[in-house]
Each structure stands twice: as structure tokens, then as C-alpha cells.
Structure 1
Amino acid sequence: MEKILIVGATGSTGKRIIEILNNSQSFEPVAMIRKEEQKEIFDDMEVKWVFADLEQDDLSPALKGIDKVIFAAGSGSKTGPDKTTEVDEKGAIKVIDAAKKAKVKKFIMLSAMGADEPSQHEKLEHYLKAKATADKHLKESGLNYTIVRPGGLTDDMGTGRVKISEKLDSLGEIPRDDVAFLLIMSLADPLVKNMSFEAVEGEEPIKSAMIELSQS
């Protein structure tokens, strides 16, 4: 069973990922937390956790024994530039570097639609620039990777159906549930290897959409 470090485990999307992986026969989630009081959440779920702070710590100990990483941390698009830079850019780069040192097999990055052209989205420009810098660092790291760039995240119930492409022709929204499944499906070694793709809600089942994209 592969150990999967979830960075951003206490966030809305991170919690969904943990819940799904916790019922998996192939993957064992390990939650990365930075506050003492967060232990209880994962102890109650019988999920392993590790202490680490994106903004401060040497992250090498958190990667010990880890097979793959899902980076689902984010300051949020409404956060100011300083916090965004610390978490979405510098924090992500620290995890990528630690993952490379630990020789993890695959790194799955939760990015954002528009990260390939931040200047086209004035209100989100600082957020998308931070995401773009982290994405670039991952691509150049030598790690096997998948970068998932969803549209606007909603708390609607997931449908299991999406529209995905390396570049979509229009913006859209997608439930966090479906984003969590996209990130988890990306753990499968042959799927979307060394690819980045955009995702919004759509009509095609997630699994077949990802297989199709992988073969394109």
C-alpha cells in the first residue's frame, strides 16, 4: 500500500481527499498538519498525521517513507499577496524540493485555471502568478508529476462527470468532490503522467476522461 502525503489536509478539498483515500485498498493517506488541535480530527478518522509547517519548517521529516504527494494547500484567491506567496509559491516549492530529495514516485499539484496566463485575470493575478511559479518549479524538478487546474471550486455535490483538456476554451466551475477524485485518480502511475490539465464540470465520467486525455 502506497503512503500518500496530503499537504493541505485540513482544507475543504484536502479533507475530501483524506476521506476517499481512507477507504482505499491501494493508498494510505498521511495528513500534514501544523497545529496541535488538528491531531484530533485525524485520530478520530484513524488517519496517520505528521507535523510540518509550510512557512517555517524543514519539510524533509514529513516526507520520510512517503511514496506520493498530493499538494492541495492554498491560501485562497481572496488572500493578500504576502500570504499567497508564502503558501502557494514558496511553500509549494519547499514541498517539491523535499519530495525530490525523498525520491517520491509522483507529485500531484492542485493548481488553478488561468495559472498559464495570470495577467488575463486582474483580480486573481497575484494568486495565479504564485501558482504558475510553483507549477513551473514542479515541471522542472525531474519528478513525475500531474498538475490539475480546476475552474472555480464549489461545495455542490460531485457528479463524477467532468470536462477536461490541457487547455479548455472557456472558464467554468467544478465541485470540490470531483476535484478530489481527479487528484486521486492522478495517483495512478500511467494516468496523466507529466501533464497539466484544466477541469470544469461536464458530461464525461472522470475515469474515462482521464484515460482519454492520457492517450491524446
Structure 2
Amino acid sequence: MANILILGANGQIARLAIQQLLSDGEDHHLTLFLRNASRLANLKGPRVDIIDGDAADATQLEAAMAHQDVVYANLAGHNIETQAKAVVTAMDHAQIKRLIWISTLGIYDEVPGNFGKWNHQMLDNGYLPTYAAAAKAVEDSDLDYTIIRPAWLSNEPSIDYEITHRNDTFKGTEVSRASIAALVVDLVDHPDKAVRDSLGVNKPGTDGDKPSFE
């Protein structure tokens, strides 16, 4: 059992991870942190607390981190670097070490071939640089982080993924959100896995010039 703080808890991957964490038999306690917390009010219960807050505010984050074991950050937005720095600061002050951080493929220019060129064309308009800067803020910390870099995301319900590591060439073009949620749950259940690593995640057999749904 772990106490888990989920930042950006209304995100699509986060909501799938919440479902899996509440049903995986480990009896975890979840604290859901998001703007407009009323959006998830239906989840409140004996194993779920909900906090309305701003993930760019280190003071709010630190207050939410009391008695937590793991922070899972499913954040997004133009200020993602600011949010990353706030998370690192708050975790340092709260003396929490374990962080699972969702990023994106391409932040290390690790995506090869025509797909890599296409990915740059799609994401170079401020998205990749800001997410790369956020990941660097996490990597420069002394936290026990795992960064997750999903391929392009689909809503397929199946869980089917493979992993590459920080200095590996990225594989595949797509992966399901359910697969990323399953990986998050696996890291929560096995907190010694992939510590201070950055994981590229794709569905096997999806190599190509772009995802099948684009």
C-alpha cells in the first residue's frame, strides 16, 4: 500500500491510472490534485481525497505532499517547465523522493527517420522545447524520478507496450493511453523500478513514418 499524490488528476492517462490503482488489490490511498476539483468529486471516498490547486505553486504542492509516498505528475501546458520546478522544490521541502513524470517522445531528439522528422514538424512549435526543459529540471534534481515518454497516444483499450531507455533510439510511433496508465501503476507497485531513468514507450510493431491514426 502507498499514499500517492496524482498531479493533473483529470488528464486522460491519469483517470485511467486512477481506475487501475483503485482496482489492483494493493489498497493504495490516492490524493487527486487538479484545478476545478469538482470535476472529480464523484471519486471522493475512503481511499480518495481531492485537492483543488495549482501545480505551478510550490507552496500548494508542498501542503498536498504531506504523508505521501509517491508523486505521479500528469501535467501539461505552456508552463510545464515552471510546474516541473515547482514539483521538484515542493518534493525537496516535503522530503519525498519518488516521482513519476509524464513527458513526451522527442525531447532528446531520439526519434529516428521520417517519423522523427514528422514528429518535429508537429511538435516544434514550442511544445518539444518546453517539455524538454521540464524533463531537464526533473533530471537535474536529486529525486528518484522516472520520466515516461509515450509515443503518439491512442484510445485503444488494450495494454501492449515495450520500453526503450534514456540513450536508446525510440521505437514505434504510437501507444495506447491504457498502456501508459498500466506502466504508471507498475511503477507505483514496484517503486524500485526504473529509478532515475527515462522510458520511451511504444506499442510493438508500430514502426512507420507516422502513427496509423494520423
> Shorter chain as normaliser: what TM range?
0.7 to 0.9
Cα shift at 1:199: 0.8
Instruction: State the partner residue of 2:212.
Output: none
The runs of at least 4 aligned residues of structure 1 exceeding 4 Å deviation read none
Q: Does 1:94 align with 2:96?
A: no
Paired-residue identity, %: 24
> Which stretch of the first structure deviates more once superposed, 170-179 or 56-65?
56-65
Gaps of 5+ in 1: 76-83, 204-216
Instruction: State the partner residue of 2:34.
Output: 33
Instruction: State the partner residue of 2:123.
Output: 124
Q: Tell which has more relative contact order, 1 or 2 (C-alpha 8 A, sep 6+).
A: 2
Computed over aligned residues only, the root mean square deviation of the Cα atoms, in angstroms, reads 2.3
Q: Deviations over 1:33-57 (max 9, x none)?
A: 2215225232279621122112456
Q: So what's the TM-score if we normalise by structure 1?
A: 0.80
C-alpha change, 1:32 and 1:61, in structure 2 (3 Å) is same
> Which stretch of the first structure deviates more once superposed, 183-192 or 49-58?
49-58
> Which stretch of the first structure deviates more once superposed, 132-141 or 143-152?
132-141
2:202 partner SS: strand
C-alpha change, 1:132 and 1:156, in structure 2 (3 Å) is same
Instruction: State the partner residue of 1:111.
Output: 103
Instruction: State the partner residue of 1:194.
Output: 196
Say how many residue pairs are matched.
192
- Structure-2 separation of matches of 1:152 and 1:194: 23
Instruction: State the partner residue of 2:185.
Output: 184
Aligned residue type for 1:60? E
- Structure-1 separation of matches of 2:93 and 2:30: 20
Instruction: State the partner residue of 1:138.
Output: 138
- Structure-2 separation of matches of 1:3 and 1:136: 26
Aligned residue type for 1:92? A
Cα shift at 1:192: 0.9
- Structure-1 separation of matches of 2:135 and 2:149: 10
C-alpha change, 1:123 and 1:202, in structure 2 (3 Å) is closer
1:189 partner SS: coil
2:101 partner SS: strand
Q: So what's the TM-score if we normalise by structure 2?
A: 0.81
- Structure-1 separation of matches of 2:88 and 2:18: 20
Gaps of 5+ in 2: 111-115, 206-214
- Structure-2 separation of matches of 1:2 and 1:41: 22
Q: Deviations over 1:44-94 (max 9, x none)?
A: 79621122112456221111111111111223xxxxxxxx1x2x2111221
C-alpha change, 1:170 and 1:39, in structure 2 (3 Å) is closer
Instruction: State the partner residue of 1:206.
Output: none
Q: Is the 8 A contact 2:29 2:47 kept in 1?
A: no
C-alpha change, 1:43 and 1:4, in structure 2 (3 Å) is same
- Structure-1 separation of matches of 2:172 and 2:198: 16
> Which stretch of the first structure deviates more once superposed, 24-33 or 117-126?
117-126
Cα shift at 1:169: 4.3
Q: Is the 8 A contact 1:18 1:31 kept in 2?
A: no
- Structure-2 separation of matches of 1:57 and 1:145: 18
- Structure-2 separation of matches of 1:42 and 1:199: 28
Q: Deviations over 1:148-172 (max 9, x none)?
A: 101001111123x212111234441
- Structure-1 separation of matches of 2:95 and 2:128: 28
> Which stretch of the first structure deviates more once superposed, 7-16 or 51-60?
51-60
- Structure-2 separation of matches of 1:172 and 1:54: 30
